[in-house]
């Protein structure tokens, strides 16, 4: 139950009395003598009720109500009125005030009105939260494409972890989309409005690594002309994405560990300690703890980073997503290049489904762009021969089901007619391939 109340009244005796009553009843109370002060300090999505006098110097209670309505039309405002102000307060309720109390009022009358207002506020905020969750899920579905069960699990984990202030390790093969997942963890969380800073640890020469990470003062070393803000400091308030973290030099691992523990850093050539608030998302191909046991990575840093771990499945483990992803990449490339998106033949689709895609999604995107440019697809490689016929059939079946559901916008009767399947058989196949009718009601890919 919400219990936050802000009291705005220019009379000190009223403020003190109301604050005492409410505090003794378990409410969390803030008081202001002027509406201007309250507006300056009011947080976004305030989880409570505003209690305001009508007649105040500066911004009046009615103007205060109007400004609050512009900020949040659902924020409950209870007006405190003198006897002559009652008609004015009734009009104010038509303009959005939740209630008004005529002075003098009893503590019981005040408590009753506040509790009703807080119950309403709780319902409004919960409804907003559910809508925001649904919107975030929809946007994430459009960003991390895939119908494979492993992708459903990944999206759920990303939504959950995006809200938590913990460091995350993303494990996956080259080209599997680690930076995209890191970006989603940032964009769908409370740090979304702050910097997302990416650094590939394998691309920085060891002698330059410390300056890149921590920054430097002018003259800190030969060639250090002018002050430079490092990646850690630049990411303050946001997220630092460290790709190929296993390549970070051991000497810098020690210093990174200290920053994580203390949330402070020093630029090269400086004795001044700088406070930073960062979330670290690290990406790696190998298991960091195995790297630590082999002496190639600090175990204490591995534990600090790996508060939570996300595993990205390689493309060969979610073959049912290949036609969907290829189509998406082909349409994107066609739009960018001013070309027409290609229509795949049965043989081309068979090749897509049978190839092992060692470069994963990145390789698939490249193949789609080559197809748009008319350069064709690569010939099957030796890695294709390891796929069993059953595996290829499963992937092709998932593609056919998804295509039919998309064409008919989730109309099950139309899909049954096209594919000539019994209802029970279609239900079983949709369940096995992680397909749900609701996913296709708008006909979206």
CATH 1.10.8.60 fits 316-440, yes or no: yes
- Check residue 348 and give its pLDDT: 81
pLDDT per residue over 109-126, tens digit each?
A: 999 999 999 999 999 998
Q: Is the pLDDT of residue 249 over 60?
A: yes
Q: Where would I find the H helices in 51-205?
A: 61-71, 86-94, 107-143, 149-162, 178-187
- Check residue 224 and give its pLDDT: 64
4-127 and 146-313: identical CATH topology = yes
Element (H, E) at 393: helix 389-407
Please state the three-class secondary structure of 287-330 as a single string.
Answer: CHHHHHHCCCCCHHHHHHHCCEEEECCCHHHCHHHHHHHHHHHH
Ramachandran category for residue 443: left, alpha or beta (phi over 0 → left; psi -120 to 50 → alpha) = left
- With contact defined as beta carbons under 8 Å apart, do 424 and 443 qualify? no
> Average pLDDT, stretch 1-23?
89
- With contact defined as beta carbons under 8 Å apart, do 119 and 98 qualify? no
| CB proximity list for 115: less than 8 A, separation 6 or greater | none
pLDDT per residue over 355-413, tens digit each?
A: 889 999 999 999 999 999 887 654 444 444 455 677 667 777 887 887 788 788 889 99
Between 177 and 379, where is the model more confident?
177
Q: Is 139 helix (H, G, I), strand (E, B) or coil?
A: helix
| CB proximity list for 54: less than 8 A, separation 6 or greater | 60, 61, 62, 79, 80, 81, 82, 85, 88, 89, 92
Closest by CA position to 370, among listed 400, 339, 349, 395: 339
Exposed e or buried b per residue across 279-313, where buried means at least 16 C-beta atoms within 10 angstroms of its C-beta: bbbbbbeebbeebbeeeebbeebbebbbebbbebb
pLDDT per residue over 15-57, tens digit each?
A: 999 999 999 999 999 999 999 999 999 988 899 999 999 989 9
Percent of the chain with pLDDT over 70: 93
Two tokens, residue 170: 């993303």
Q: Would you kindly state where each structural domain of the chain is located, as residue ranges?
A: 4-127, 146-313, 316-440
Two tokens, residue 2: 């919400």
Query: Long-range contacts: 60-65, Cβ < 8 Å, 24+?
Result: 60/35, 61/8, 61/35, 61/92, 62/88, 62/92, 63/35, 64/8, 64/35, 64/38, 64/39, 65/92, 65/95, 65/96, 65/97
- Check residue 381 and give its pLDDT: 42
Ramachandran category for residue 357: left, alpha or beta (phi over 0 → left; psi -120 to 50 → alpha) = left
* Distance from C-alpha of 132 to C-alpha of 396, rounded to nearest angstrom: 36
* Distance from C-alpha of 402 to C-alpha of 398, rounded to nearest angstrom: 6
- Check residue 147 and give its pLDDT: 85
Closest by CA position to 312, among listed 181, 116, 224, 135: 181
Superfamily grouping for domain 146-313? P-loop containing nucleotide triphosphate hydrolases (3.40.50.300)
* Distance from C-alpha of 32 to C-alpha of 111, rounded to nearest angstrom: 19
> Average pLDDT, stretch 255-261?
94
Q: Is the pLDDT of residue 306 over 90?
A: yes
- Check residue 445 and give its pLDDT: 40
Query: Apex CA 241: angle with CA 271 and CA 194, to 5°?
Result: 80
CATH class belonging to 4-127: alpha beta
Burial class (CB in 10 A: 0-12, 13-18, 19+), 320: buried
Q: Which residue(s) pair with 28 in the sheet?
A: 4
Two tokens, residue 68: 């609050």
Q: Dihedral sign for Cα 366, 367, 373, 376, please.
A: positive
Between 154 and 437, where is the model more confident?
154
Q: Is the pLDDT of residue 331 over 50?
A: yes
Q: Is 72 helix (H, G, I), strand (E, B) or coil?
A: coil
Q: Is the pLDDT of residue 197 over 90?
A: yes
- Check residue 379 and give its pLDDT: 43
pLDDT per residue over 210-242, tens digit each?
A: 888 998 777 666 666 667 888 999 999 999 999
* Mean confidence (pLDDT) of the chain: 88
Q: How confident is the model at residue 69 (pLDDT cuts 50, 70, 90)?
A: very high
- Check residue 385 and give its pLDDT: 46
């Amino acid at each position: 139950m919400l219990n936050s109340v802000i009291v705005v009244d220019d009379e000190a005796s009223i403020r003190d009395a109301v604050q005492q009553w409410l505090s003794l009843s378990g409410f969390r109370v803030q008081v202001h003598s002027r509406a201007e002060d309250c507006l300056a300090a009011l947080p976004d999505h305030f989880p409570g009720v505003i209690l305001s006098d009508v007649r105040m110097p500066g911004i009046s209670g009615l103007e205060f109500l109007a400004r609050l309505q512009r900020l949040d039309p659902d924020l409950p405002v209870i007006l405190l009125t003198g006897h002559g102000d009652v008609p004015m307060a009734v009009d104010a309720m038509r303009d959005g005030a939740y209630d008004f109390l005529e002075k003098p009022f009893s503590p019981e009358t005040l408590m009753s009105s506040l509790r009703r207002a807080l119950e309403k506020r709780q319902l409004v905020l919960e409804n907003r939260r559910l809508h925001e969750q649904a919107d975030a899920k929809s946007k994430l579905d459009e960003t991390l494409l895939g119908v494979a069960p492993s992708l459903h699990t990944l999206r759920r984990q990303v939504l959950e972890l995006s809200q938590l202030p913990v460091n995350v390790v993303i494990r996956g093969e080259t080209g599997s989309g680690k930076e995209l997942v890191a970006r989603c963890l940032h964009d769908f969380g409370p740090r979304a409005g702050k910097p997302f800073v990416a650094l590939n640890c394998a691309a920085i020469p060891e002698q330059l690594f410390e300056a890149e990470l921590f920054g430097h003062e002018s003259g800190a070393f030969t060639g250090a002309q002018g002050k430079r803000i490092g990646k850690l400091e630049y990411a303050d308030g946001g997220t630092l994405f460290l790709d190929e973290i296993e390549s970070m030099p051991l000497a810098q691992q020690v210093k990174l560990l200290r920053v994580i523990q203390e949330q402070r850093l020093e630029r090269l050539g400086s004795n001044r300690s700088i406070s930073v608030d960062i979330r670290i998302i690290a990406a790696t191909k190998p298991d960091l703890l195995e790297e630590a046991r082999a002496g190639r990575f600090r175990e204490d840093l591995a534990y600090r980073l790996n508060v939570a771990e996300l595993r990205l499945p390689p493309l060969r483990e979610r073959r049912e997503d290949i036609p969907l992803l290829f189509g998406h990449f082909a349409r994107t490339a066609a739009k960018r290049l001013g070309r027409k998106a290609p229509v795949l033949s049965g043989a081309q689709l068979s090749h897509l489904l049978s190839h092992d895609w060692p470069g994963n999604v990145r390789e698939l995107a490249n193949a789609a762009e080559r197809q748009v440019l008319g350069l064709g697809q690569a010939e099957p490689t030796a890695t294709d021969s390891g796929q069993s016929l059953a595996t290829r059939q499963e992937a092709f079946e998932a593609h056919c089901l998804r295509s039919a559901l998309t064409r008919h916008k989730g109309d099950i009767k139309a899909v049954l007619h096209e594919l000539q399947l019994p209802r029970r058989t279609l239900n079983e196949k949709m369940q096995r391939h992680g397909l749900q009718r609701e996913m296709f009601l708008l006909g979206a890919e």
